[in-house]
A and B are shown apart, each in its own frame.
Chain A
Amino acid sequence: MCGIAGLIHRQGTGGIGQEMTDMLQALRHRGPDSTGFAIYGVPVQNQYVLRFKVAEQEDLASGFKIHDEIKARRVSVDERLKTLDVEIIESEAATEYAFRYLISYNGDMKRLADYVEDVEGAEILSVGNALELIKDLGDAGVVSGQYKLGGFNGTHGIGHTRMATESDVDIRSAHPYWAYPYNDISVVHNGQITNYWNMRRQMERAGQRFVSNCDSELLAVYTASNLEQGASLEDSLKRSIEEIDGVFTYLVATKNELGMAKDTMAAKPMVLYESDDIVALASEEVAIRSIVPHEIDTWDPYDEEVRVWRT
């Protein structure tokens, strides 16, 4: 089933970490397997937040040596960053296997991503001036508490509660997906893409990289590919309704935008609330009510509807 939510503050920043936690916790019944957040702070020029992991949560139960291996993998990542002249300004271990680095880097982001992900078990969750992408197993309360998101202040965010159907219960298959290798682009999706393998094969032949077998990752790669070719976010969302088959409602966030698209059958839910201060979207109104308790007007976007809001 899965639940998705998005929120944008139109007049500056707000407590986006706690707000997204509340919204996703209200959607827990739509999927308790994993929860993910893509939240955006105020962009800092020439500094990037690098979120990566070097193991899956389930790997911790796989053997006596795994803890030493995780440490060794992190050292390898650090060495590779040093080789690329990356300055690590701050580093923080969110969990034993997931890390947040604040870095300064002037080189090619694709080269950095490929070089880091060449380390066994390493996967970059996100890179960006403003984006912080966090995802792990458990409901929103668990993940938010684990990664200390409650105090995060920012402009906008998207999130996902996952009921695993077609791929594993692991961090790799959890949403949001970062649109490798482009800064600050993330995607969450509710639905099923029926031409996933055809499109994936086409994209892989064109040089795109996939890290999971989750059909939702396709939307991130697809969006990144379109934006790279100069399309606007709105154009990419509109084109997806023509080119992607299946039932879907998905959200895309960039450094300063939040967009949504709904498929031609309108088979997946989305409730929308707009005010002068915020735009809130969610699979169910209960999520919006968790942050806007007073009486409000909400509505369902229709089939093939595309919307983009800016901070």
Chain B
Amino acid sequence: MADVSAKETSSHEMGMHTEQLSGRDQQVFFDLSDEGGFTYPDAYEVDFNKRAEFDVSGMDAKQINLHLRELMAAGNGTIVIKNPGAKHSVAVGILNRLNLIIEGSLGYFGCGLIDGPNVRILGRVGWSFAENMMAGTIVIEKNAGSTFGAAQRGGDLVCRGSVGSRTGIDMKGGTILVGGDTGAFSGFMMQRGRMVVCGNAGKNLGDSMYDGTIFVGGEIKDLGVDAVPGEVSDLDRAWLTRKLKMYDLLPAGGVDHFTKIVAGKQLWNYDNLEPTEKKIIL
């Protein structure tokens, strides 16, 4: 049996892991007493005043992402990527604070699994952008493809233009702001978080959503199963105004015309159960 580290022993004693660990260790063990606290193993300490830029026209996604890490490891806190050429899987897995500017468009799976950076993209982004985003801010100046912000958990994800279908599918937290329209099945199986669409929304909005809130400034083609209109409160209006103003998306007429969509919560399995069955489950 491999040696068990002090951290592992500690977590075992806390009941976090009872299984015998073997092979490559995929677990990350946090220790409050560590100097780094809760930073990720591959996070870098950077200085926002230290700036670097690089042209990626002749590079593939792996080379771009590796070079990004080299620049962050060297302490660069502001990085500019030039000529991204709509390449896929660029700027993924950034787990520290960083000001990243992308001068052009990205393809599929851009900025996935990020936790912390502020990203500004001057072009358009493709499908599954910012999938599983955990924290930070991303602002896209043009349009975005489908499954925008899928499974997002935190942070602000902003698209000034229009986005494709299934925006915020499986969303678990954070905020999506769309300056234009969104396509069909937006908010599908949404579980938490907020989505704001200043333009129109396609069919089946909020289909099978468990929780979370969707605000739409334009027309809604139709609502999905178990998505229902909610009452827009003063608190909602204040939040919408503040958030849209923050990204220069506040409509000239304000936010009074926004519709609020929430979960009807009729799809929760235990709501369909008999009282005796609920007791067993709960």
One of B87, B107, B203 near A303 (C-beta < 8 A): B203
Task: Give the residues in chain A near B254, CB-CB below 8 Å.
Answer: none
B212 CB–A CB distance under 8 Å: no
A245 CB–B CB distance under 8 Å: no
- Please report the C-alpha to C-alpha distance between residue A282 and residue B134 in the assembled complex, in whole angstroms: 31
Q: Is the CB of A297 within 8 A of B127?
A: no
Query: When each residue 96-135 of chain B gets 1 if its CB lies under 8 Å from chain A and 0 otherwise, what string results?
Result: 0000000011011000000000000011101100000000
B-contacting 9-mer, from A105-113, A120-128, A168-176, A265-273: A265-273
- Please report the C-alpha to C-alpha distance between residue A286 and residue B109 in the assembled complex, in whole angstroms: 13
Residues of B within 8 A of A (CB-CB), count = 27
Question: Please, which residue of chain B has its CB at the minimum distance from the CB of A284?
Answer: B107
B184 CB–A CB distance under 8 Å: yes
Q: Is the CB of A302 within 8 A of B164?
A: yes
Task: Give the residues in chain B near A265, CB-CB below 8 Å.
Answer: 165, 184-185
Q: Is the CB of A300 within 8 A of B145?
A: yes
Q: Is the CB of B183 within 8 A of A266?
A: yes
Task: Give the residues in chain B near A289, CB-CB below 8 Å.
Answer: 85-86, 105
B189 to chain A, nearest CB (A): 15
One of B105, B161, B165 near A302 (C-beta < 8 A): B165
Q: Is the CB of A285 within 8 A of B105?
A: yes
Task: Give the residues in chain A near B137, CB-CB below 8 Å.
Answer: none
Given A266-B183, A303-B203, A295:B86 Cβ within 8 A: no
Task: Give the residues in chain B near A285, CB-CB below 8 Å.
Answer: 86, 105, 107, 124, 126
In the complex, 12 of the A-B residue pairs with CB atoms within 8 angstroms, ordered by the A residue number, are A266-B164, A266-B165, A266-B166, A269-B126, A289-B105, A295-B122, A295-B123, A298-B105, A299-B124, A299-B161, A302-B184, A303-B203
Query: When each residue 54-83 of chain B gets 1 if its CB lies under 8 Å from chain A and 0 otherwise, what string results?
Result: 000000000000000000000000000000
Q: Is the CB of B124 within 8 A of A297?
A: yes
Question: Please, which residue of chain A has its CB at the minimum distance from the CB of B105?
Answer: A285
B57 to chain A, nearest CB (A): 9
B208 CB–A CB distance under 8 Å: no
Given A284-B126, A285-B107, A302-B183, A271:B85 Cβ within 8 A: no
Task: Give the residues in chain A near B184, CB-CB below 8 Å.
Answer: 265-266, 302-303
- Please report the C-alpha to C-alpha distance between residue A163 and residue B176 in the assembled complex, in whole angstroms: 34
Question: Please, which residue of chain B has its CB at the minimum distance from the CB of A302?
Answer: B183
Residues 266-311 (chain A) with a chain B CB within 8 angstroms:
266, 269, 271, 284-286, 288-289, 293, 295, 297-300, 302-303
B225 to chain A, nearest CB (A): 15
Query: When each residue 216-254 of chain A gets 1 if its CB lies under 8 Å from chain B and 0 otherwise, what string results?
Result: 000000000000000000000000000000000000000
B86 to chain A, nearest CB (A): 4
- Having A269-B146, A297-B143, A300-B165, one finds 10 other A-B pairs with CB under 8 Å, namely A266-B166, A269-B145, A271-B145, A285-B124, A286-B87, A298-B105, A298-B142, A299-B161, A302-B164, A303-B183
Given A286-B85, A286-B107, A298-B143, A271:B126 Cβ within 8 A: yes
- Please report the C-alpha to C-alpha distance between residue A265 and residue B142 in the assembled complex, in whole angstroms: 23
B162 CB–A CB distance under 8 Å: yes
- Please report the C-alpha to C-alpha distance between residue A302 and residue B166 in the assembled complex, in whole angstroms: 11
B103 to chain A, nearest CB (A): 8
Task: Give the residues in chain A near B202, CB-CB below 8 Å.
Answer: 302-303
Question: Please, which residue of chain A has its CB at the minimum distance from the CB of B127?
Answer: A269
Question: Please, which residue of chain B has its CB at the minimum distance from the CB of A298?
Answer: B124
- Please report the C-alpha to C-alpha distance between residue A275 and residue B146 in the assembled complex, in whole angstroms: 23
Task: Give the residues in chain A near B104, CB-CB below 8 Å.
Answer: 295
Task: Give the residues in chain A near B145, CB-CB below 8 Å.
Answer: 269, 271, 300
- Please report the C-alpha to C-alpha distance between residue A284 and residue B128 in the assembled complex, in whole angstroms: 12
Query: When each residue 202-215 of chain B gets 1 if its CB lies under 8 Å from chain A and 0 otherwise, what string results?
Result: 11000000000000
- Please report the C-alpha to C-alpha distance between residue A12 and residue B215 in the assembled complex, in whole angstroms: 46
Task: Give the residues in chain A near B87, CB-CB below 8 Å.
Answer: 286
Task: Give the residues in chain B near A295, CB-CB below 8 Å.
Answer: 104-105, 122-123
Task: Give the residues in chain A near B123, CB-CB below 8 Å.
Answer: 295
Task: Give the residues in chain A near B143, CB-CB below 8 Å.
Answer: 297-300
Query: When each residue 154-169 of chain B gets 1 if its CB lies under 8 Å from chain A and 0 otherwise, what string results?
Result: 0000000110111000
- Please report the C-alpha to C-alpha distance between residue A265 and residue B183 in the assembled complex, in whole angstroms: 10
B47 to chain A, nearest CB (A): 30
One of A284, A288, A297 near B142 (C-beta < 8 A): A297
Task: Give the residues in chain B near A298, CB-CB below 8 Å.
Answer: 105, 124, 142-143
Question: Please, which residue of chain A has its CB at the minimum distance from the CB of B148?
Answer: A300
One of B107, B122, B164, B203 near A300 (C-beta < 8 A): B164
Task: Give the residues in chain B near A302, CB-CB below 8 Å.
Answer: 164-165, 183-184, 202
Task: Give the residues in chain A near B183, CB-CB below 8 Å.
Answer: 266, 300, 302-303
Task: Give the residues in chain B near A271, CB-CB below 8 Å.
Answer: 126, 145
- Please report the C-alpha to C-alpha distance between residue A298 and residue B145 in the assembled complex, in whole angstroms: 10
Residues 180-201 (chain B) with a chain A CB within 8 angstroms:
183-185
Q: Is the CB of A284 within 8 A of B165?
A: no
- Please report the C-alpha to C-alpha distance between residue A302 and residue B108 in the assembled complex, in whole angstroms: 17
A302 to chain B, nearest CB (A): 5
A247 to chain B, nearest CB (A): 12
A292 to chain B, nearest CB (A): 10
B218 to chain A, nearest CB (A): 14
A264 to chain B, nearest CB (A): 8
Question: Please, which residue of chain A has its CB at the minimum distance from the CB of B162?
Answer: A299
- Please report the C-alpha to C-alpha distance between residue A302 and residue B200 in the assembled complex, in whole angstroms: 12
- Please report the C-alpha to C-alpha distance between residue A266 and residue B145 in the assembled complex, in whole angstroms: 11
Given A265-B184, A300-B145, A284:B108 Cβ within 8 A: yes
